[in-house]
């Protein structure tokens, strides 16, 4: 069967740059999915995208669907013919339904003990050209477009108004109308360099015809690499290195079709501003790349991307320099004005900012965070007074002019202004660090005071919102409580902080004296955070049953929880693990049927009559003594390894001893022995959850 290349290109007004890559990927995936569903084989498929187009190129696409065999089952043969072998009404009706006669029907053994009438026919595969319009349309319908536009008097909707539709299968135009555009073989070049139709004779010609004469690099990844190379090349011309943020690179790649990098300069006097303030002005507002020297210090240059080859690039550079100068001047004004008012004097302004209507102002939140941060710092050997001071001042930079203009500088400007106010370095650093981690994979606070304030701030938010009945629901988490919970756990675990999380939650609750707090609030929040821990360990590849084994013990120190998880995970791989897990499950089932108050771990050796129970009792006592120092050192892996060789004795006990003896004293004594055995393992986890069969 012959093959041809296929190309579809939708020409549009400028597409949203931050969504371009996602749209291109989704368009490609949609077309590939449709082709596979229609059983149309191909060798490869590629997405192309620029600000004014979305395109997909499919190489070596089959010209026809494969033929298929159609089979329709009818009534059982026993009901299809009478005693004389004449067709019944059921057989005749089935034949009419299949538009054939009874004698053309087959008899098929269904494999389920019965033979049925069946109609079989060959169905020819459809031509690919007939299927392509619906394939493209369905792919467009499924694009992730949150808000679609209409234009003119049309009812057609798309992410942006459309201007042309190119659809070729081999050298032939696929005749159709999609998004209000009639298909043809013409694309369009660069809006300024070559805003004219470009005839595409075959899909294979597309990329080069767009490049020349079209002045369009249509391959998104090629354009991205081209920009990155240009930027670093011209940065070297001023002995600098361009700091290329991946998201910014993606955005400028989606803004241009023919990228030209130009380098500009700003006044050196602006270098007295915090680096991040300058970077934000250049990056967020102007989409510029900033430059640093060999010492990683900011230098007074920037790189901008143009979508045109200017005949006078100096004019373009001068224009960009004129634009950036007032922005940096504004930043300098904000910076100088902010430093006239110490952070401590801004506390009063926080009283006018509502944190949450039922939870009070940012001033009240700061006071709660200060109290809690001090307690936490004391527990982790940080400086209590510095943590309290940082907690009190940590939100004050939110009312500064600089953060008002550049919200992403919150915390950083607080740190800068705290240094200017001669606050202690630990206080200034903790003000910045209390926002960390801001997202998955972000860095953590370096200082113990920063850890304390960060945990306190996140716990305060979580506690307050749970207290007023606003926990996350489903996929809705407007206050980012799941992220906050993971941030707290990351700080405690990665910084090796011996903190009792449940106690921390109770301390946070204690600062909300004006709320009517339910008795189970601390447990509710603790369980919510443990659920985040569950996801954490799943991402590490830890099986769910191992988490459940430790969760049954409900350790309240995250660091201790992690140690137990790793110990049980190691134990689960030992040869005796399955048998001991099954034995523990059996013990749990036996003990669960008894009255709790009658159970004890006190074993009367005089009532041990069987050799196997005597042997097990001796081993259990010995093991209890052996693991005591291990438990004190929290060496849970050593504990479980020590207990793993109990298997033969446990197996022998169950093989030869009747636990539920008629004599009550003997029965209770054997139950006490099992309770004592189970308690050894339960010092670490409930390993009965590890049972796999």
Predicted confidence (pLDDT) per residue in 513-541, tens digit = 888 888 899 999 999 999 998 889 988 89
What crossing angle do the helices spanning 425-433 and 448-467 adopt, rounded to 10°?
A: 40
- CA-nearest of 130, 108, 128, 132 to 119 is 108
Q: What is the pLDDT of residue 598?
A: 59
455 and 602: one domain? Answer: no
- pLDDT greater than 60 at residue 333: yes
Q: What is the mean pLDDT of residues 323-341?
A: 95
Same domain, residue pair 55 and 193: yes
The answer to whether position 204 is within a domain reads yes
> If residue 431 lies in a helix (H) or strand (E), which one and from where to where?
helix 425-433
- pLDDT band per the 50, 70, 90 thresholds, residue 113: low
**Exposure string (b/e) for 620-640, b if CB count within 10 Å is 16 or more?**
beebbeebeebeeebbbbbbb
Q: What percentage of the chain reaches a pLDDT higher than 90?
A: 69
CATH code of the domain in which 49 resides: 3.30.70.260
Question: How far apart are alpha carbons 578 and 668 in whole angstroms?
Answer: 27
- Radius of gyration of the CA atoms of the chain, in A: 36
Say whether pLDDT at 300 is over 90.
yes
Note whether residue 547 is domain-resident: no
Q: Do 224 and 312 fall within a single domain? A: yes
Q: pLDDT value at position 599?
A: 64
How far is 452 from 492, CA to CA, in rounded Å? 10
Pair (44, 88) in one structural domain? no
Whether residue 493 lies inside any domain: the answer is yes
pLDDT at position 55 is 98
pLDDT score of 673:
82
- In a domain? residue 404: yes
- Assess whether 356 and 413 both reside in one domain: yes
435 and 385, same domain (yes or no): yes
557 domain residue, yes or no: no
**30 within 8 A of 143, measured Cβ to Cβ:** yes
The runs of H, that is alpha helices, within 380-511 are: 384-393, 401-405, 412-420, 425-433, 448-467, 481-494, 501-510
pLDDT at 117: 80
pLDDT score of 601 more than 60: yes
Q: Which of 508, 369, 361 is nearest to 450 (CA)?
A: 369
Please indicate whether residue 344 or residue 91 has the higher confidence score (pLDDT).
Answer: 344
Does residue 597 have a pLDDT over 60?
A: no
In a domain, 549, yes or no: no
CB atoms within 10 A of CB 449: 33
- Give the pLDDT confidence score for residue 91 in this predicted structure: 81
- Rounded Cα distance between 280 and 206, Å, is 39
Same domain, yes or no, for 648 and 685? yes
- Residue ending a domain, choose from 302, 323, 338: 338
Same domain, 427 and 358: yes
Spatial CA neighbour of 30 closest among 125, 145, 129:
145
- Verify that 634 and 668 share a domain, yes or no: yes
- Mean pLDDT of all residues in the chain? 91
439 vs 387, which has greater pLDDT? 387
The answer to whether 571 and 581 are in contact (CB under 8 A) is no
Report the CATH number that the domain containing residue 470 is assigned in CATH. Answer: 1.10.3210
Torsion of CA 179, 180, 182, 188, to 10 degrees: -70
Residue 604 CB neighbour total at 10 angstroms: 14
Say whether both 51 and 107 belong to one domain: no
Considering Cα of 215, then 218, then 220, then 221, what sign does the dihedral take? negative
Angle between helices 128-141 and 20-37 (to 10 degrees): 140
Using CA atoms, how far apart are residues 107 and 614, in angstroms rounded to an integer?
72
**How much is the average pLDDT of 559-564?**
95
Tokens of 670: 């054997």
Six-digit token pair at 26? 């989704």
List of residues 6+ apart from 44 with CB closer than 8 A: 58, 59, 60
Average pLDDT over residues 345-363: 94
What digits encode the pLDDT tens for the residues 255-282? 999 999 999 999 999 999 999 999 999 9
Helices (H), 540-610: 544-551, 558-571, 577-592
Burial 231-242 (b: 16+ CB within 10 A, else e): bbebbeeeebeb
> Which residue in the block uniquely carries the two structure tokens 């749970």?
466
Reduced DSSP (H G I as helix, E B as strand, rest coil) percent helix, strand, coil of the chain, to 5: 55, 15, 30
Domain count, the chain: 5
Q: Of 147, 178, 211, which one is at a domain's C-terminal end?
A: 211
Higher pLDDT, 507 or 518: 507
- For the record, the structure tokens of 665 come out as 């004293």
Q: At what angle do helices 384-393 and 425-433 cross, to 10 degrees?
A: 50
The burial of 384, by beta-carbon neighbours within 10 Å (0-12 exposed, 13-18 middle, 19 or more buried), is given as: middle
pLDDT band at 600 (very low <50, low <70, confident <90, very high): low
Q: What is the pLDDT of residue 1?
A: 55
> Quick one: angle between helices 362-379 and 501-510, nearest 10?
140
73 and 59 co-located in one domain: no
Indicate whether 643 and 677 sit together in one domain.
yes
Whether residue 142 lies inside any domain: the answer is yes
Q: Which of 683, 682, 685, 667 is nearest to 603 (CA)?
A: 667
Stretch 234-239: mean pLDDT: 95
Number of neighbours of residue 76 by Cβ within 10 angstroms: 14
State which residues form the domain around 72: 68-123
- The rounded Cα 422 to chain-centroid distance in angstroms is 40
Q: CB 513: neighbour CB atoms within 10 A?
A: 8
> pLDDT category, 691, cuts 50, 70, 90?
confident
Q: Does any domain span residue 555? A: no
For residue 161, pLDDT beyond 70? yes
Contact 126, 65 (CB under 8 A): yes
Instruction: Name which of 250, 301, 255 is nearest 278 in CA terms.
Output: 301
Find the farthest-apart pair of alpha carbons in the chain and give their distance in angstroms, rounded.
110
pLDDT at 98: 82
675-689 pLDDT tens trace: 888 888 889 998 888
pLDDT at 596 (0 to 100): 54
Residue finishing a domain among 311, 338, 365:
338
Q: What is the CATH number of the domain that holds 595?
A: 1.10.730.10
How distant is the alpha carbon of residue 432 from its chain centre?
25
Compute the distance between CA of residue 130 and CA of residue 176 in angstroms, rounded to an integer.
10
């Amino acid at each position: 069967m012959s093959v041809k290349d296929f190309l579809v290109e939708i020409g549009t007004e400028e597409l949203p740059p931050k969504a371009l890559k996602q749209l291109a990927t989704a368009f490609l995936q949609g077309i590939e999915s449709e082709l596979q569903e229609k059983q149309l084989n191909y060798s490869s498929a590629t997405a192309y995208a620029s600000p004014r187009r979305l395109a997909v190129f499919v190489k070596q696409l089959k010209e026809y669907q494969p033929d298929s065999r159609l089979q329709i089952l009818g009534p059982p043969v026993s009901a299809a013919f009478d005693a004389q072998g004449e067709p019944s009404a059921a057989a005749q009706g089935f034949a009419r339904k299949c538009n054939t006669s009874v004698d053309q029907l087959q008899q098929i053994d269904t494999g389920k003990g019965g033979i049925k009438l069946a109609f079989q026919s060959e169905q020819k595969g459809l031509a690919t050209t007939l299927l392509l319009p619906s394939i493209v349309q369905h792919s467009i319908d499924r694009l992730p477009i949150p808000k679609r536009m209409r234009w003119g008097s049309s009812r057609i909707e798309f992410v942006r108004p459309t201007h042309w539709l190119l659809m070729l299968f081999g050298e032939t135009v696929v005749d159709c109308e999609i998004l209000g555009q009639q298909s043809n073989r013409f694309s369009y070049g660069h809006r300024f360099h070559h805003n004219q139709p470009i005839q595409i004779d075959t899909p294979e010609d597309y990329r080069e015809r767009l490049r020349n004469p079209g002045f369009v690099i249509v391959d998104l990844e090629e354009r991205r690499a081209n920009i990155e190379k240009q930027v670093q090349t011209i940065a070297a011309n001023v002995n600098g290195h361009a700091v290329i943020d991946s998201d910014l690179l993606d955005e400028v790649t989606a803004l241009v079709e023919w990228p030209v990098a130009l380098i500009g300069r700003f006044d050196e006097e602006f270098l007295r501003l915090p680096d991040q303030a300058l970077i934000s002005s250049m990056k967020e507002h102007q989409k510029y790349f900033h430059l640093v020297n060999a010492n990683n210090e900011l230098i007074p240059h920037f790189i901008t991307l143009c979508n045109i080859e200017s005949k006078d690039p100096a004019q373009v550079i001068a224009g960009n320099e004129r634009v950036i100068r007032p922005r940096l001047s504004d930043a300098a004004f904000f910076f100088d004005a902010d430093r006239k008012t110490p952070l401590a004097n801004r506390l009063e302004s926080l009283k006018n900012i509502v944190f949450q209507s039922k939870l009070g102002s940012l001033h009240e939140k700061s006071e709660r965070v200060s109290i809690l941060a001090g307690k936490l710092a004391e527990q982790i050997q940080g400086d209590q007074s510095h943590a309290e001071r940082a907690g009190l001042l940590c939100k004050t930079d939110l009312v500064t002019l600089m953060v008002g203009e550049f919200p992403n500088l919150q915390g950083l400007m607080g740190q800068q202004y705290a240094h200017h106010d001669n606050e202690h370095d630990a206080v200034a650093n903790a003000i910045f660090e209390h926002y960390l981690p801001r997202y998955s994979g972000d860095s953590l606070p370096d200082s113990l005071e920063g850890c304390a304030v960060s945990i306190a701030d996140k716990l305060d938010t979580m506690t307050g919102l749970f207290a007023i009945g606003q926990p996350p629901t489903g996929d809705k988490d407007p206050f980012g409580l799941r992220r906050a919970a993971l941030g707290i756990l990351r700080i405690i675990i990665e910084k090796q902080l011996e903190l009792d999380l449940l106690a921390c939650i109770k301390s946070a609750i204690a600062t909300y004296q004006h709320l009517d707090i339910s008795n189970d609030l601390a447990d509710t929040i603790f369980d919510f955070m443990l659920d985040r821990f569950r996801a954490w360990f799943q991402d590490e590849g830890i099986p769910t049953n191992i988490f459940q084994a430790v969760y049954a013990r409900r350790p309240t120190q995250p660091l201790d929880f992690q140690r137990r998880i790793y110990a049980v995970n190691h134990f689960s791989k030992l040869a005796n693990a399955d048998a001991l897990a099954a034995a523990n499950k059996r013990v749990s089932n036996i003990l669960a049927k008894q009255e709790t108050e009658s159970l004890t771990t006190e074993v009367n050796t005089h009532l041990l009559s069987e050799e196997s129970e005597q042997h097990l009792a001796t081993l259990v006592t010995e093991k209890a003594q052996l693991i005591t120092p291990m438990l004190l050192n929290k060496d849970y892996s050593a504990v479980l390894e020590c207990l793993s060789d109990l298997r033969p004795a446990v197996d022998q006990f169950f093989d030869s001893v009747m636990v539920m003896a008629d004599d009550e004293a003997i029965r209770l004594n054997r139950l006490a022995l099992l309770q004592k055995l189970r308690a050894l393992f339960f010092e670490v986890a409930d390993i009965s959850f590890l049972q796999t069969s």
